[in-house]
Amino acid sequence: MSNKTVYSSLIAILFSLVIANSACAQNENQNVKQEKSTLEAIGKGEVKIKPDVAYLTFAVETTSRTASEAVKNNAGKMKSVIDQLKSQIGKEDKISTSGYQLSPIYEYNESTRRSELIGYQASNQALVETKNLNELGNLIDSSTQVGANRIDSISFGTDKKDEYRRQALVEAVQDAKATAEIVAKAAGVKVVKILRISPSYDTPIPVYRDFIQTKALEAGAASTPIEPGEVTVSATVNINFEIE
């Protein structure tokens, strides 16, 4: 191969490298131009509503010398409680067993310095789901009169979760858009459009009411007052905006 041929080949290779580098630089410039300036905003929405369903947990506790006696006595009292509740709740309301426990009872003996078995305790819980919120006090009072000796919890919720979630989501989007506009204006830029949006829902927050256990009410006494309060349904959105 002559020197002239080698020289021509080197020139061709160098020329190819220059073109390749120019193409890469051009592509990089295009990529820089294609990158969009963005602004991310989080929006929150809340809807406070009057609850339309209540959940009450009634319990019967019995103690006896033997396990069989504790179970038998508990079953009789719980049946009376459930029968009473069923006679008061509506057709759409529900009653279900939410827990059952049988436990030995020990007592420390000072003489022997040992814990000795003295009996057994049976505990049965029934969950009542009712839409008649005006009768909650009467349910509590009547159940304690026929054998319930513990009210474990009272909470309130709603059956219209999806409807209220949609309302909360609309508020969350409006909140995110308002936040983005405020931030963009302060920064001297303009919101162009939404690039990405990610919604999320929060579980409706039930309202709980403490219940102080009392003895069965005497005839003619006022029923236990129960105030439902409000239930909060909330939603959150993450929105990525293009700005210029």
Does 196 lie in the same domain as 126? no
What is the per-residue burial (b if ≥16 Cβ within 10 Å, else e) of 193-213? eeeeeebebeebebbeeebee
Is residue 11 in some structural domain?
Answer: no
Does 127 lie in the same domain as 207? no
Residue ranges in 87-134 assigned as alpha helix (H): none
Give the separation between CA 37 and CA 214, rounded to whole angstroms: 64
Q: Which of 178, 236, 237, 173 is nearest to 202 (CA)?
A: 236
SS3 140: helix
Q: For the ranges 20-29, 31-40, 152-161, 196-205, which has the lowest average pLDDT?
A: 20-29
Q: Which residue has the tokens 């020197």?
A: 3
Final residue belonging to a domain, choices 157, 180, 213: 157
Parallel, antiparallel, or unpaired: how do β-strands 207-208 and 114-130 relate? Answer: unpaired
Does 129 lie in the same domain as 214? no
- CATH number for the domain harbouring residue 188: 3.30.110.170
Does 188 lie in the same domain as 133? no
Does 141 lie in the same domain as 82? yes
Does 65 lie in the same domain as 147? yes
Does 163 lie in the same domain as 111? no
pLDDT in tens, 206-240: 555 555 444 444 444 556 778 777 888 899 999 99
Residue ranges in the chain assigned as alpha helix (H): 3-34, 67-86, 136-145, 161-187
Q: What is the span of the domain harbouring residue 169?
A: 35-52+159-244
Is residue 16 in some structural domain?
Answer: no
Is residue 198 in some structural domain?
Answer: yes
Does 236 lie in the same domain as 119? no
Final residue belonging to a domain, choices 132, 157, 182: 157
- Find the distance separating the first CA and the last CA of the chain, reported in whole Å: 59
pLDDT in tens, 144-181: 999 999 998 888 888 888 899 999 999 999 999 999 99
Q: Is the pTM of this model over 0.75?
A: no
Does 113 lie in the same domain as 173? no
